[in-house]
């Protein structure tokens, strides 16, 4: 197992991404942040904190569960564990920053966009990821990338939260061969 990014490096990376978001969105005044359950939700919470620190407003944060929107739900999820989606702001007409921890094939993002549209039609959807590992199966690219990692399909990348599993806690990204 190899550590790609320790907790402090991840926080610095999200601080930089937050500054990029504030600049690209013209101050983030009309922005809502939605993290993809599981890995994207804590990253979204930290990113929202960093947006406020970077000079943006306090932005509302929600999370979306994509289990029912997966394109392989019928075959890969015979008894899916579906968690709640909670988006505490009006999506219609708003800029939404969709957040995930690791971007690979693009299928998770496609599912999240489909789920998000059930809440209304946003003015724009931006995508931020902590790590982009390549390996796309769909033509999806992130607007904001913390770090690009060259990893083959046999490599598993995992973002680990601190022991208390809190978004404010430290987390690190690791890579291991499967």
d(CA 86, CA 65): 9
Q: Kindly indicate the confidence band of residue 8, based on its pLDDT and cuts at 50, 70 and 90.
A: confident
Whether 167 has a pLDDT exceeding 50, the answer reads: no
Q: Which domains does the chain have, with CATH numbers?
A: 2-73+81-177 (3.40.50.2020)
Q: Where are the beta strands (DSSP E) in 45-165?
A: 61-64, 95-103, 124-132, 144-148, 155-161
Q: Kindly indicate the confidence band of residue 174, based on its pLDDT and cuts at 50, 70 and 90.
A: low
Q: Kindly indicate the confidence band of residue 77, based on its pLDDT and cuts at 50, 70 and 90.
A: low
Please tell me which of 37-41, 139-143, 166-170 the model is most confident about, judged by mean pLDDT.
Answer: 139-143
User: Tens of pLDDT along 48-59?
Assistant: 999 999 999 999
pLDDT value of position 175: 65
Exposed/middle/buried for residue 19 (C-beta within 10 Å: 0-12, 13-18, 19+): middle
The length of the chain, given as a count of residues: 178
pLDDT value of position 163: 57
Angle at 61 between CA 125 and CA 55, to 5 degrees: 85
85 vs 75, residue with greater confidence: 85
Interior/surface letters 88-98, b for 16+ CB within 10 angstroms, e for the rest? ebebeebbbbb
Phi, psi at residue 104, to the nearest 5°?
-130, -90
> Tokens 């033509």 sit at which residue?
139
Residues 6+ apart with CB under 8 A from 55: 22, 27
Q: Give the H/E segment covering residue 132.
A: strand 124-132
Q: Kindly indicate the confidence band of residue 44, based on its pLDDT and cuts at 50, 70 and 90.
A: very high
73 vs 66, residue with greater confidence: 66
Query: CB of 4 within 8 A of CB of 131?
Result: yes
User: Tens of pLDDT along 107-145?
Assistant: 999 999 999 999 999 999 999 999 999 999 999 999 999
pLDDT value of position 166: 45
Q: Helical H runs in the chain?
A: 7-24, 40-53, 73-76, 107-117
DSSP state of 106: S
pTM, two decimal places = 0.89
d(CA 161, CA 29): 29
Whether 168 has a pLDDT exceeding 50, the answer reads: no
C-alpha radius of gyration, the chain, whole number? 15
């Amino acid at each position: 197992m190899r550590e790609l990014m320790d907790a402090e490096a991840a926080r610095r990376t999200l601080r930089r991404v937050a500054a990029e978001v504030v600049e690209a969105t013209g101050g983030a005044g009309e922005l809502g942040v939605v993290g993809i359950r599981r890995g994207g939700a804590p990253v979204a919470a930290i990113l929202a904190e960093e947006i406020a620190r970077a000079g943006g407003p306090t932005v509302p944060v929600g999370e979306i569960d994509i289990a029912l929107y997966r394109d392989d739900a019928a075959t890969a999820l015979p008894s899916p564990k579906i968690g709640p989606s909670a988006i505490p702001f009006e999506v219609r007409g708003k800029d939404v920053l969709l957040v995930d921890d690791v971007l690979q094939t693009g299928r998770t993002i496609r599912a999240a966009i489909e789920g998000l549209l059930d809440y209304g039609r946003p003015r724009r959807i931006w995508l931020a990821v902590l790590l982009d590992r390549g390996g796309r199966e769909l033509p999806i690219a992130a607007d904001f990338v913390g770090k690009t990692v060259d990893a083959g399909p046999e490599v598993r990348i995992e973002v680990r939260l601190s022991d208390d599993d809190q978004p404010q806690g430290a987390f690190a990204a690791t890579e291991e061969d499967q």
